Amino acid sequence: MQASAKPILAARRRRQLHPFFFRMGPVGLSICSVLLISLMAVLYLSQLGQAVTANQEIQSLRQQQATLARQDQDLAQQIALEQSPVYIAARASAMGLVPADPKTVIVLVIPHLKPIPSYIQHLQP
């Protein structure tokens, strides 16, 4: 009896080792397959939507960066123009200022006044 019981026990063990979906049948397997495929499609579309949103945000930021770079270049050019001696002289003469005659300049000496340090002098207009 032991010789005939061994194949039966082996078959029972194999059946226990088979996963549940092998016992479901073709309809159950089809339903599970459709559900898994639809879940994967939803996850894929979700990630695709996030990627598209991130790409649009990157494009918007690049466009904003280009606009700011153009503005920076325009402002740097305007500053360079307004710091040029020709522009300063033209604006001064337009406001009615004339160059000072060194013979008529009066120098005031104020006692107890500290001199301006050399590292600040370049900041003076």
76-96: per-residue pLDDT in tens?
999 999 999 999 999 999 999
**1-15, 71-85, 94-108 — which one is most confidently predicted on average?**
71-85
Identify whether 6 is part of a domain.
Answer: no
Identify whether 73 is part of a domain.
Answer: yes
Mean pLDDT of the chain: 85
Q: How many domains does the chain have?
A: 1
Q: For the whole prediction, is pTM greater than 0.85? A: no
Angle of helix 26-82 relative to helix 85-94, nearest 10 degrees, comes to 60
- Say if residue 125's pLDDT is above 90: no
- What is the token pair recorded at 49? 């939507």
- What is the token pair recorded at 67? 């606009």
Where helices occur in 1-125 by DSSP H, the ranges are 2-17, 26-82, 85-94, 118-121
Identify whether 40 is part of a domain.
Answer: yes
Amino acid found at 41: A
Query: How many C-beta atoms lie closer than 10 Å to residue 32's C-beta?
Result: 13
| Non-local CB neighbours of 39 within 8 Å, separated by 6+ positions | none
Per the structure, the complete domain to which residue 30 belongs is given by 20-86
